[in-house]
Structure 1
Amino acid sequence: MAHPITAAAPAVTPISVKAIAPWALFVGLLMLTLLYFVGAEQGATALLSGEQVHEWVHDGRHLLGFPCH
């Protein structure tokens, strides 16, 4: 009878919160910036003049449920 081949499970090294915190902050700020440009960058709250940002994110705005018309 053949013996099944067993492999040792790789050791899992935990990642500390101190190592993850800067990346989590960076990704969070990036997502908030993206959410602002998709959801609010037009009209009275516009940081950039013109309609270029609105046109670039127009379909994403509707996909996420933000009205724009």
Structure 2
Amino acid sequence: MSNTTLAPTYGPLPIPVKELLPWAIFAGLLCLLAIYFVGAEEGATSMISGMYVHEWVHDGRHLLGFPCH
């Protein structure tokens, strides 16, 4: 009887940058949009009239340290 054991060899897998780049750009743009709405959607730079967006993200503004009043 043989005592030979075959152990699989694992190596690092390459990261497919060409496949991940569009998703990374999309996620980055979503993050920038979220930061804009939480941090700057008020007053002169407002894209949406009224205080609806401000009230919706009000607590998030305080949590992230943005001044609002």
Identity in percent:
65
The 5 Å alignment of 1:1-69 reads 8=8, 12-69=12-69
- The Cα RMSD (Å) is 1.6
TM-score by length of 1: 0.81
Gaps of 5+ in 1: 1-6
Q: Kindly report structure 1 stretches of 4+ aligned residues shifted beyond 4 Å.
A: 7-12
Provide, for residues 25-48 of structure 1, a one-character-per-residue CA deviation record: whole Å limited to 9, x for no partner: 000000000000000000000000
TM-score by length of 2: 0.81
Aligned residues: 63
Larger radius of gyration: 2
Gaps of 5+ in 2: 1-6
